[in-house]
Structure 1
Amino acid sequence: MLIAARVLQGVGAALLVPASLALINQAYLDNPAGRVAAIGVWPGCGGIAMAAGPWVGGVLIQMLGWRSLFLVNPPLGLLAVALSARLAASARQPRAAGGLRLTVQLFGSRVFSLCAAVSLVSALLLYGLMFLLGLYFQRTLGFSPLWTGVAFLPLTVLVSIGSLMAGQLVRAFGSRWLIGGALVLYVAGFGQLLMSGTSPDYALLVVPLPIIGLAAGLITPATTAALMNAVHPAQAGIAAGTLNTARQIGAALGVALAGTLL
């Protein structure tokens, strides 16, 4: 039953994320600068949720047990339904025929392919690291669920900050330079993490974790903006779905690969 419920949650997320991005793209068809800013806010909200999630989850587990985590979802889901019902009816988006064929054709674009690949790798690194850190904080350092959530904040808070900053940085420097800079930050952060040893004290993680979080926060809006600018408005929904699929594949691979290291 638990697995079936999680499958349904995954299906809902798979529908929600690309649809929301397609709506943003539609709302700013004639305003590229506004679209970049909106795309920066879009993952920024996700980053805020990422920062709050481990801490709130830790509080709930510490006080009410792990089953309490599932009690949070129904009221949040109902709130989301109420908010979506208040959206003004939007014009039907132009549709492009041939979903799978068109998706394959989109990969013929160098910009599209690179953005999808970078998003996949970024998700692989971030979620693989978070999986390992969650186990490391509790099993090795002996942190409680509450303190494990707090220990993630240097990483997750910077994801939020990076996402909210990305819109202005894309307008100032362009997506290509911002993606390149974020990849350099990834290398610097993981390099410091590897040099800290196999069993580092938490104090040694305080510097590399914010660097990695900032890199992850910058990459998502930058790749999303570049990808959406590279496709025709009629292809926005398919492009958004493909990008989200690349991220989810990266996240799943990251957790699976991290699990093999244990």
Structure 2
Amino acid sequence: MKKTQGVTIAAVALAPFVVFAAFPLPIVALPAIGEDLGVGIAELNLLVSGYALGIGALLLTGGALADRYGAGRVWIGAMAAFALLSAACAVATSVPLLVGARIAAGAAGAALLASSLSLVVQAVEPQRRARAMALWGAAIGAGLSTGPVGAGIALEFGRWRPALAVLAAVAAVAALLGVIALPARRGAAMGRFDLVGTLLLSVGLGGLILGISWVGGGLAPRVWIAFGIAVLLLPTFVLQQRRRPVPLFDVALLRIPSYAGGLVAGLALALSLLSMLVLLGPFLQIVFGLSPLQAGLWFLPATLLSTLVALFGARIGARFSLRARLASGLGLSAVGLAALAFVRPDWTFALLLPGFLACGLGMGLANPALGAAAVVGVPPERSGVAAGAANTARQLGNALGIAVLGAIIHAGALVSARGKLPVAADLLAAGDLRGAAAVTAPDVVQAAYAVSQTAGVRLALEVSAVVALVGAVAAAFLLRPRPVAPAVEPAVALTRP
């Protein structure tokens, strides 16, 4: 029994590891991918946003499938699909094939995240659930550090495909182990599967995430189309759900204080720290002149500290409440982001390290607590949907955060460039160094570009620090102790209340 439980807990952790390793992996490789496929970097934006699209649009659906067909079954199927789709990315010979495989891999990742949290409720003994959630949170940090570093190592040899192939191999081995050891029993969800509601929600959320991701490039027709789809389908989904005896998402879950607080905290973390980590990667390469591998290594202290802190999540959870961990995690993230907001183009790694470490510590405290908040007190038969909804909020936060903070970086860079080099300000803010060099001296362009981009990043870091701090205060307020009458013991007890 203990051996089976150990494999199940390993499966719980493997899901966020492969999903979050795949998310940032192509970011550092975009120039190499564009050169290999003969396209510009701008045409590859969907490699990043498309993956988030697949995750965000299908998370709630993945949770519903886990509740109906069993978390173990869905986990195995999703991991096998993730392996096949990652392999398809590795051998893709055109942009449409590569982007399509990435979106589909994101959808498989959605089912993995939702089913892995549902496994905690459906298949892990109560006394071992805190340990499972600690590993789940640690795996996020491990994945975020492994993806960019793995891609950087592959790019040192001039190749980007091996990094995706290795990820596919890891997922394939995990799927085989899951077939051997994971429980294959069906879930306890009642009623017919809501195919119409699933389609309305998935396509509606997909339009919303795409619209948010694209709006940073201006209000082009595709932005209006994406938002139009969301505006049409999401209200239709709400009306359709009100007529169903068993809705796809039970709004009564929002009355659970830990769930509502975790939802807000997860959204704030995604809007601030997780979005800035994505945007800081290209900044370090362009302004500091780092290689993809060097940029990945600069982030390593933060992600490793996050992993180590999360590994002690069970012990921390036994001593500190969910409220304390979420509030302090977001608060430390705010401190780290504020420290990084003093960055200058001539800074060294040592000057950035304190801010990175504070961010890593905050992320390590928050991630296991967010996973616990998504399922604590939730009935087992609704645990998949609850986990899917919580992760959907984080993916929407990522898409919105990257778009908004990216626009802030552009605006801050434009203001700075107009003060430093008015003749090429628009080109500098857009990152078009070649065009800027055509109107003035290249050395002047490079210096002005570094200063203007740094000004934009500093402004975005300041905004993200405020968002994290507001999230900390909101989590503390929503999770504050309330005097209540004695009630039935929660269905899932993972941490102290």
Taking structure 1 as reference, are residues 239 and 249 closer, same or farther at Cα in structure 2, changes over 3 Å only? same
Match of 1:25 in 2: 121
CA-to-aligned-CA distance 1:173-195 (integer Å, 9 cap, x gap): 12111112212212211221223
| 2:225 paired with 1:78 | no
1:258 & 1:205 partners in 2: Cα distance? 20
Match of 2:339 in 1: 192
Output the TM-score relative to the length of structure 1: 0.90
Deviation at 1:6, TM superposition (A): 0.7
The range that moved more, 134-143 or 162-171, is 162-171
Do the aligned partners of 2:375 and 2:386 also contact (CA within 8 Å) in 1?
yes
2:190 & 2:391 partners in 1: Cα distance? 18
2:331 & 2:182 partners in 1: Cα distance? 41
Match of 2:303 among 149, 153, 156: 156
For structure 1, list consecutive stretches of 5 or more residues without a partner in the other structure.
Answer: none
Report the count of equivalent residues: 259
2:396 & 2:151 partners in 1: Cα distance? 24
Match of 2:394 in 1: 247
Letter in 1 for 2:174: A
Larger radius of gyration: 2
| 2:283 paired with 1:136 | yes
* 1:41-52 alignment runs, 5 A limit: 41-52=135-146
Taking structure 1 as reference, are residues 101 and 53 closer, same or farther at Cα in structure 2, changes over 3 Å only? closer
Do the aligned partners of 1:193 and 1:208 also contact (CA within 8 Å) in 2?
yes
The range that moved more, 161-170 or 44-53, is 44-53
Letter in 1 for 2:113: V
Deviation at 1:141, TM superposition (A): 0.4
Letter in 2 for 1:56: G
Letter in 2 for 1:100: L
Do the aligned partners of 2:310 and 2:368 also contact (CA within 8 Å) in 1?
yes
Letter in 2 for 1:206: L
| 2:353 paired with 1:220 | no
1:199 & 1:254 partners in 2: Cα distance? 27
1:208 & 1:11 partners in 2: Cα distance? 33
Deviation at 1:151, TM superposition (A): 0.9
Match of 2:404 among 249, 253, 257: 257
Do the aligned partners of 1:162 and 1:215 also contact (CA within 8 Å) in 2?
no
1:46 & 1:210 partners in 2: Cα distance? 16
For structure 2, list consecutive stretches of 5 or more residues without a partner in the other structure.
Answer: 1-96, 192-245, 411-497
CA-to-aligned-CA distance 1:205-262 (integer Å, 9 cap, x gap): 1001011111112112112213312211221111111111122112222222232123
2:172 & 2:249 partners in 1: Cα distance? 36
The range that moved more, 92-101 or 33-42, is 92-101
1:140 & 1:249 partners in 2: Cα distance? 29
Taking structure 1 as reference, are residues 254 and 35 closer, same or farther at Cα in structure 2, changes over 3 Å only? same
Deviation at 1:200, TM superposition (A): 4.0
SS of the aligned residue for 1:64 comes to coil
Q: CA RMSD in A?
A: 2.0
SS of the aligned residue for 1:7 comes to helix
Do the aligned partners of 2:259 and 2:376 also contact (CA within 8 Å) in 1?
no
Match of 2:248 among 88, 94, 100: 100
The range that moved more, 15-24 or 176-185, is 176-185
Match of 2:183 in 1: 89
CA-to-aligned-CA distance 1:127-165 (integer Å, 9 cap, x gap): 221122211111000001111111111221122112212
* 1:38-77 alignment runs, 5 A limit: 38-77=132-171
- Identical aligned pairs, as a percentage? 31
2:267 & 2:342 partners in 1: Cα distance? 25
Letter in 2 for 1:114: G
Deviation at 1:101, TM superposition (A): 4.3
SS of the aligned residue for 1:229 comes to coil
Match of 2:129 in 1: 35
1:202 & 1:56 partners in 2: Cα distance? 20
| 2:161 paired with 1:13 | no
SS of the aligned residue for 1:192 comes to helix
2:134 & 2:109 partners in 1: Cα distance? 19
Taking structure 1 as reference, are residues 74 and 173 closer, same or farther at Cα in structure 2, changes over 3 Å only? closer
Larger relative contact order, structure 1 or 2 (CA cutoff 8 Å, min sep 6): 1
Match of 2:58 in 1: none
Do the aligned partners of 2:123 and 2:183 also contact (CA within 8 Å) in 1?
no
Do the aligned partners of 1:96 and 1:235 also contact (CA within 8 Å) in 2?
no
CA-to-aligned-CA distance 1:17-42 (integer Å, 9 cap, x gap): 1101101222235x2x4211211112
Output the TM-score relative to the length of structure 2: 0.49
Match of 2:259 among 94, 97, 112: 112
Match of 1:147 in 2: 294
